[in-house]
Amino acid sequence: FVDGGSYLAPRAAGIKSLKDLAGKKVAVAVGTTTEQSLAEALRKNGVSARLVKVSDHQQGIDAMNEGRADAYASDRALLIGLALDSGNQDTWSLGGEIFSYEPYALMLRRNDADFRLAVNRELARLSRSGEIYAIHERWFGVLGKPEPRLDSLYFLNGMPE
């Protein structure tokens, strides 16, 4: 699975793009790849924003609710989950840009090449048959269709060995 860094903000803040973060306070979990990639994306785009470091997702949401931050940055799928779990999803706006590449993987037992091969073959079969899209819809349908990088990953996973 592949995701990317984005940001969640109160809809009333009008933050729709990375450039809209100029002059804003953006909460981000300390020590994460999101912290590094957000700082780099802001620098590359000439956007001056203050990063408010928090220890976890709940602190990021709390920082926005308490006015200590204007937005919270994390992996896009996690942000969507936070908005949905809030019970007030209509009050949140998800940034339209993805500023990083965040790959996810399955955990497997160490030194079990046969099991890893079986898992990889099944993932390839699901991608080749198109069944992966039904699985995506079931578990991530709220996110919409797979974004282009994830769609490409599904295609590449289906390539013959």
The residues of the chain that CATH labels 3.40.190.10 are 2-102
Sign of the alpha-carbon dihedral angle for 14, 16, 22, 28: positive
Give pLDDT tens digits along the chain (161 positions).
Answer: 788 899 999 999 999 899 999 999 999 999 999 999 999 999 999 999 999 999 999 999 999 999 999 999 999 888 988 888 887 778 888 888 889 988 888 899 999 999 999 999 999 999 999 999 999 888 877 666 777 878 888 888 888 76
Task: Indicate the CATH number for domain 2-102.
Answer: 3.40.190.10
**Residue 116, pLDDT score:** 92
Strands lying side by side in the sheet with 50-54: 50-54, 25-29, 71-75, 5-10, 92-94
Nearest to 156 by CA among 133, 107, 123: 123
